[in-house]
Amino acid sequence: MFHVVLYRPEIPPNTGNVIRLCANTGSALHLVRPLGFELTRRAVRRAALDYAALARVTVHDSLEACREALAGARLFSIETSGGRTYSAAAFVPGDALLFGAETRGLPAEALAAVPCERQLVIPMRPGNRSLNLANAVSLVLYEAWRQQGFCGGC
């Protein structure tokens, strides 16, 4: 249905939670190296529970390799510098949602690969820096899925 791309994730439980989220929404998860942990680490397994077997997870050596694998997918970035709110975007099945590392977000070169109209932001109160990565993915992915009528086979 949708593709979730985590660029250089650092915190194992966040990735484990996103694995569960992708399994429950029928979305594919793409992880871009380097990862801040081993996928076999206990913390990832505990957060993902038994959903890891239900999720499609692919690890890519670079963002370029991930983009090549997703050829044809529209890429959206979700970053605090985005120009449009995520809820203003019109998502379609096959879209790819790109999220940055927990402590650094997305670098300028990653954002440069995304058209301005697809650089999205999650609104927050002034002065706040960011949301938890897994929570941010949940908000945007469920909005995209909601726009499809929560269609399980899309």
**What CATH number is associated with residue 99?**
3.40.1280.10
pLDDT at 151: 84
In a domain, 154, yes or no: no
| pLDDT for the residue numbered 74 | 98
Question: CB 113: neighbour CB atoms within 10 A?
Answer: 13
Q: Is residue 104 part of a domain?
A: yes
Residue 18 lies in a domain: yes
pLDDT at 29: 96
Cα separations (Å) of 85 from 1, 90, 100, 123, 133?
21, 11, 17, 7, 16
pLDDT at 55: 87
Q: Cα 20 vs. chain centroid, distance in angstroms? A: 13
In a domain, 26, yes or no: yes
Query: What is the pLDDT at residue 135?
Result: 97
For the chain, what is the domain count? 1
Enumerate residue ranges in the chain where pLDDT < 50: none
State how beta strands 56-60 and 84-85 pair.
unpaired
8 Å CB contact between 35 and 79 = no
pLDDT value for 49: 61
Q: What is the pLDDT of residues 79-96, one digit of tens each?
A: 999 999 999 999 999 999
How far is the first Cα of the chain from the last one, in angstroms, to the nearest whole number?
Answer: 5
109 lies in a domain? yes
What is the predicted pLDDT for the residue at 58? 95
Looking at residue 54, its pLDDT comes to: 80
Looking at the domain assignment, is residue 17 inside a domain? yes
d(CA 112, CA 55): 29
Rounded to two decimals, the pTM is 0.93
Task: Say how many residues make up the chain.
Answer: 154
**3 state DSSP class of 98:** strand
Q: Is residue 152 part of a domain?
A: no
Q: Which domain holds residue 80?
A: 3-147
Angle at 137 between CA 132 and CA 141, to 5 degrees: 155
